[in-house]
Structure 1
């Protein structure tokens, strides 16, 4: 690793801090128990299978509570007809307000002025920051991303937009090298092979799980976005999805090896279905995947039915009162 990354990973962990770590898997639902179309229907994921007592991440498993995890099929349709979309789904997850109902439609992939206004007021990043907590969006972006934004050729998606609204600068290659950020593929391989950064730090999936825990040291809430799952779903690339989920399984194993589960709530969730049905390359109406691991998971699992339920849970876990303005008719 570059020296900066080693120093960051050696920082002492605040053993008294309560944390939420949210692992956002874009476009992952709970689909049919059919390995011919659903990459999650196979047996290639030992960490996930162990957490779920040998059950699979498929619709037939349903709501499940084990000694180590809570599996929750999560409503992504939000009471609005049509296929769920990324911008409204992510905005709902980030605000606790039913964005699709607020707009009267599913919308995406990136937020328009209506959704940006919602994030400007209700983003979980902003609310935590205003309450004196420390939210952190830990994804690093290459220079070409910033160049495209500056030239007006690309709009921020809901998650980086919400972080920026709260005052965080998006993280760069320098942050990646210093151990303050992770690449969306978490290993860093894509930065070397596809983005033209031959000296980018490389992690095994398990090492990346360790690195995520180390970089979380100063923060109360860490959000990590893994967007490749949605791209693999749109490409109907079942084999590519299987390979990704195998890496993610090992990444999760690495995180669980080092995380303080007594004081940390890990949320694995998504905004809509897609990759769980590789027969067509479109979003699905399936419930979104949600897993809760760690502290108080059973208590908080009981409060989750749809995407609007996550922001209130995060605020409660971190001891931040939920503003009355979010308890509106637009909340699912």
Structure 2
């Protein structure tokens, strides 16, 4: 059993109104397929705390199963504070799976200057994201530009356009090529995570044309990935931390629920119960507890 976990920042379930929701203005054959083929669970991101959901607390809640907003008594934007870092350090999705004997990886590649700054204890301006803290606190290394050039990782924008524009690489890759990279990498690990956060950036800009282009890029990327993955054996899970891009009539995040999409064997996924962000990590751990070890045992018997 392999599981690919795709985290898309700022992607909520909005109204069927293409005047403000680019998801309905864009051409999204894969998203249409996902809704029919998988389980789409409308997932609460407010976590019983007043105010608009935010990234630091939302992502901490997703990747630890702890209601970080309740712990702080508020929603927190940006990168995690020391209090949130302690929650992540104590227990997170990567750490829990590693302790169970599974292999995990963060597929995202970091630019060298950014990586050196977030690893510098004296650095005050640049702070690591929740997924970066989780990676480092689990004893894993962050993927580098060298990994990217070897095809062993993805940049957060999927195609590497930012890397090409800044002169790190000569050219971009297609969404299909990116999907094949992620699939090939996922064959080496039990869980492979990829994070895309331009959805949140674009949502704040309220740019419909850019939003439609970004959603269509994600759709193409997911379409190729689904073709590659054997969904009778493996799983793809997609979720978000809060709404934003689905309502371009406002510049802020939204109170909308977010989609948690689970693609895989129907019998195995129908029993998964997710109501809010804090249920996602426990659900993934249950999948591995129920099916991951059986898969390893089966391979052992074959050998």
Answer whether contact 2:26 2:215 (CA < 8 A) is retained. Answer: no
Q: Secondary structure at the match of 2:255?
A: coil
Answer whether contact 2:47 2:67 (CA < 8 A) is retained. Answer: yes
CA offset at residue 307 of structure 1?
0.4
Q: For residue 72 of structure 2, what is the aligned residue in structure 1?
A: 103
* Higher mean displacement: 20-29 or 36-45: 36-45
After the TM superposition, which residues 90-129 of structure 1 pair with which residues of structure 2 at under 5 Å, given as runs?
90-129=59-98
Q: For residue 4 of structure 2, what is the aligned residue in structure 1?
A: 21
CA offset at residue 28 of structure 1?
0.6
Q: Distance in 2 between matches of 1:261 and 1:113?
A: 39
CA distances 1:168-208 after superposition (whole Å, capped 9, x unpaired): 11111001011211111111222101x221336x3211121
Answer whether contact 1:292 1:301 (CA < 8 A) is retained. Answer: no
CA distances 1:31-75 after superposition (whole Å, capped 9, x unpaired): 1111111111225111112333xxxxxxxxxxxxx3x11111110
Structure 2 unmatched ranges of 5 or more: 292-303
TM-score (norm 1): 0.83
Of the candidates 204, 211, 236, which is equivalent to residue 241 of structure 1?
211
Q: Distance in 2 between matches of 1:186 and 1:301?
A: 32
Q: Distance in 2 between matches of 1:92 and 1:293?
A: 22
Matched pairs, number: 288
CA offset at residue 102 of structure 1?
1.7
TM-score (norm 2): 0.90
The answer to whether residue 16 in structure 2 is matched with residue 33 in structure 1 is: yes
Q: For residue 59 of structure 1, what is the aligned residue in structure 2?
A: none
Of the candidates 84, 94, 113, which is equivalent to residue 144 of structure 1?
113
The answer to whether residue 184 in structure 2 is matched with residue 214 in structure 1 is: yes
CA offset at residue 298 of structure 1?
6.4
Answer whether contact 1:72 1:301 (CA < 8 A) is retained. Answer: no
Of the candidates 229, 248, 253, which is equivalent to residue 223 of structure 2?
253
**Is the alpha carbon distance of 1:273 and 1:207 closer, same or farther for their aligned partners in structure 2, counting shifts above 3 Å?**
same
Q: For residue 199 of structure 1, what is the aligned residue in structure 2?
A: 170
Q: Distance in 2 between matches of 1:33 and 1:175?
A: 40
Q: Distance in 1 between matches of 2:78 and 2:246?
A: 19
Structure 1 unmatched ranges of 5 or more: 1-17, 53-65, 322-332
Q: Distance in 2 between matches of 1:23 and 1:89?
A: 15
**Is the alpha carbon distance of 1:298 and 1:131 closer, same or farther for their aligned partners in structure 2, counting shifts above 3 Å?**
closer
Q: Distance in 2 between matches of 1:223 and 1:157?
A: 14
**Is the alpha carbon distance of 1:300 and 1:178 closer, same or farther for their aligned partners in structure 2, counting shifts above 3 Å?**
farther
Answer whether contact 2:5 2:238 (CA < 8 A) is retained. Answer: yes
Q: Distance in 2 between matches of 1:148 and 1:301?
A: 43
The answer to whether residue 207 in structure 2 is matched with residue 224 in structure 1 is: no
Answer whether contact 1:70 1:301 (CA < 8 A) is retained. Answer: no
Q: Distance in 1 between matches of 2:40 and 2:197?
A: 21
Answer whether contact 1:74 1:290 (CA < 8 A) is retained. Answer: yes
CA offset at residue 239 of structure 1?
1.3
Q: Secondary structure at the match of 2:7?
A: strand
Answer whether contact 2:26 2:213 (CA < 8 A) is retained. Answer: no
CA offset at residue 152 of structure 1?
3.1
Q: Distance in 2 between matches of 1:245 and 1:157?
A: 23
Q: Distance in 1 between matches of 2:279 and 2:266?
A: 15
Q: Distance in 2 between matches of 1:232 and 1:47?
A: 21
Answer whether contact 1:70 1:298 (CA < 8 A) is retained. Answer: no
Q: Distance in 2 between matches of 1:302 and 1:313?
A: 6
Of the candidates 153, 156, 175, which is equivalent to residue 184 of structure 1?
156
